[in-house]
Amino acid sequence: MQCSGRATTRAKVRARVIRGALLLLLALLQGCTLEPQHPFRVGTNVWVGYEPLYLARQLGYYDDTPIRLVELPNASEVIQALRNGVLEAAALTLDEALTLVEDEYDLRIVLVFDFSHGGDALLAKPDIATLQELRGKRIAVESTAVGAVMLEAALDAAGLTLADISLLPATVDRHMELYRDGSADALVTFDPVRSRLLALGARSLFDSSQIPSRIVDVLVVRREVLPKDGTALRQLLAGYFEALEYQRKQPELAAQRMSTRLGLNADEAMVAFRGLHRPGVGENRSLLAGAQQQALMQTLHYLTRLLSRQKRLSTALPTQSLLDAQWLPRQ
Nearest to 221 by CA among 204, 234, 210: 234
State the CATH class of domain 40-117+215-270+278-322.
alpha beta
d(CA 297, CA 281): 19
Interval 276-305: pLDDT, tens: 999 999 999 999 999 999 999 999 988 888
Asked whether 53 and 91 are in contact (CB, 8 A), the reply is yes
Least-confidence region, from 17-21, 66-70, 271-275, 306-310: 17-21
Same CATH fold assignment for domains 40-117+215-270+278-322 and 120-210: yes
Give the closest residue to 294 by CA, choosing from 314, 329, 323. 323
Query: Per mean pLDDT, which range of 30-34, 58-62, 143-147, 203-207 is the poorest?
Result: 30-34
pLDDT range class, residue 6, cuts 50, 70, 90: very low
Domain residue spans of the chain: 1-34, 40-117+215-270+278-322, 120-210
- Residue 51 CA: distances (Å) to CA of 55, 61, 254: 6, 14, 10
pLDDT digits (tens, 9 = 90+) for 120-159: 999 999 999 999 999 999 999 998 878 988 999 999 999 9
Out of 3.40.470.10, 3.40.50.10260, 3.40.190.10, 3.90.650.10, which CATH number does the structure's domain 120-210 have? 3.40.190.10
